[in-house]
Amino acid sequence: MKIIIHRGTNQIGGCVTEISTNDTRIFIDLGSPLPDEYGNVVMETLSIDGLTSGVINCDAVLFTHNHGDHIGMLSKILPDIKFYMGKAAKDIYYILQKRMRDGIPDIVKMANTFEVGQKFAIRDFLITPIAVDHSAFDAYMFLVEAEGKRILHTGDFRMHGVRGKELISALKKYVGQVDVLITEGTMLSRNDTATISEDELQNKARNFLNAYKYVFVICSSTNIDRIGAFHEATPRGKYFICDNYQNEIINVVRGFAGEHETLYQFKKALTYGDNLSDRMKTRGFCMIVRSGDAFHKIMKYYKENHNDDTLIIYSMWNGHLKQENKPLELLMEGFKNVQFLHTSGHATKQTIIDVCNSVSPRQAIIPIHSDNPQILGSLGLKFNIKYLSDGEPYNL
C-alpha cells in the first residue's frame, strides 16, 4: 500500500489524501484551502491526474465530513468517479448547495452513502466508517484495509463535544491496532488548555440567556451541536428562532438523530416571520443569525430600540472575522453587549495522545491538517512519527 498526502502536511484545511495498491486508488477528502490570515480566498491550483484531470484513474473518493476544507473540490472530480459521504452529511450539504449562487446540488445528489460501523468494499480496499464528534454533524474516521495492512484516517474529530466520550470505545470495537495512523493536528500549534466542553459552553450560554431578554447568536448553520446547545439553554417562556434555511437543516438532523438524542429534537425551534415580531419583543428570544440583509434588518431594530437589553454572542472561529468586507463584524457593530463564546471542533493534544495510544500504530503516525505538525513529537508518544511533505509517497 502507498500513501500520498497531496495537500495538508503543513497547513490546516485543503486536505487531500491518496491511498493505493497496485490495482486500486482511493482518496480521502478533496478540500479547498482555507482563507489566508487576512481572510482572502486562496486561488485553487491543485490538479491531480486521474482524479481532477486527464484520464480517470481513481476508484472512489471518501469524504470525512461536509466542511469546505474537506469537500470544497467536489465539483472538480472527473465524471463517473464514485464518491461517498454520510447520509445526514449528504442531505445537509445538499441543502447548503441549493441556496448557494454557484451551488452544485445535482452533484451532491449523486453521492453514495454508507452505514456507521459497517464495512464496505472498494475493489482491493475494505472500508469501515467510524462516527466521530466534530463541529460538522455526521463526521467520520475511515479504517482502510488491504494487503494485510490497516490505516486509520481520522478526518477532523474531538472528544469534548456531546458524542466525544464514545470515541475510544468505538476505536476498540471497530479498529484495534493499526499499521499507520493519519491524524489531524489542528490544535497542535494552539493553546488548548482553556478548551471548554460543549456542556460547559451550554451552561455559560444559559447564564447569558437568563441575563438578557434578547440574544442573537452568530453561529455556523451546520454546527448542529452548538445550535442545539443554545436551543437547550433557552429559558422556558423565551422563543428560539431561526430562518427557513436553518430549519431545513434542523429537520434533517431531527430525522436522523432526534429519536435517540434530546439535543437533536429541537422541540421549540420556530421559523422567523413577521407574525412573531410582537411576541418576540414581549417574551424575549434566542435567535441564530448569519450575515445577510434579512438578519441585519431584524438586528438593526433591536440595536436602535433595545440595545441595553440585547446581547450578541459570537460563537465561531475568530478567523472568520477577517473575511473580506467583514460581514460578521458588521453584524456586531453598534451593539453595547457582545460576548465571544466558542469551543473548537478539533482534538486537543491530550485527545490526540489518547487516540494514538488506543490504536498503537505499528509503523507510523502521519500528522496532517496542522500548520506545525512537528509539535506532535513533543507529546511523549512512543510511536514512530513520519513527517511528510505534500506529494511525498509513503510505502507500507
pTM higher than 0.75, yes or no? yes
User: Can you spell out the DSSP letters for 9-27?
Assistant: SSSSB--EEEEE-SS-EEE
- Count CA atoms within 13 Å of residue 131 on its CB side: 18
Banded model confidence at residue 191, pLDDT cuts 50, 70, 90: confident
Is residue 323 pLDDT above 80, yes or no? Answer: no
Neighbours of 374 (CB within 10 A): 14
pLDDT, tens digit (0-9, with 9 covering 90-100), for 330-349: 999 999 999 999 999 999 99
- Looking at residue 264, its pLDDT comes to 96
Banded model confidence at residue 118, pLDDT cuts 50, 70, 90: very high
Neighbours of 187 (CB within 10 A): 23
In the β-sheet with 285-289, what is the strand arrangement from edge to edge?
Answer: 269-271, 239-242, 285-289, 214-218, 310-314, 338-340
Unique residue bearing C-alpha cell 434579512: 294
Question: How many whole angstroms separate alpha carbon 17 and alpha carbon 19?
Answer: 7
- Looking at residue 327, its pLDDT comes to 86
Among residues 79, 49, 81, the alpha carbon closest in space to that of 62 is found at: 81
Tell me which CATH homologous superfamily contains domain 2-191+345-395. Ribonuclease Z/Hydroxyacylglutathione hydrolase-like (3.60.15.10)
pLDDT, tens digit (0-9, with 9 covering 90-100), for 262-308: 999 999 999 999 999 999 999 999 999 999 899 999 999 999 999 99
Cα diameter, the chain: 68
Percent residues over pLDDT 90 in the chain: 90
Pairing, β 214-218 against β 139-146: unpaired
Looking at every residue in the chain, the average pLDDT score rounds to 95
Average pLDDT over residues 198-215: 98
- Count CA atoms within 13 Å of residue 228 on its CB side: 25
Banded model confidence at residue 193, pLDDT cuts 50, 70, 90: confident
**Type of residue at 271:** T
Burial class (CB in 10 A: 0-12, 13-18, 19+), 353: middle
Residues of the chain with CATH 3.60.15.10: 2-191+345-395
pLDDT, tens digit (0-9, with 9 covering 90-100), for 43-70: 788 999 999 999 999 999 999 999 999 9
Cell of 59: 476508484
Residues of the chain with CATH 3.40.50.10710: 198-340
Q: How would CATH label the architecture of 198-340?
A: 3-Layer(aba) Sandwich (3.40)
E strand residue ranges, the chain: 2-7, 16-20, 25-30, 60-62, 83-84, 120-122, 125-132, 139-146, 149-153, 180-184, 214-218, 239-242, 269-271, 285-289, 310-314, 338-340, 364-368, 393-395
- Count CA atoms within 13 Å of residue 340 on its CB side: 10
Banded model confidence at residue 37, pLDDT cuts 50, 70, 90: low
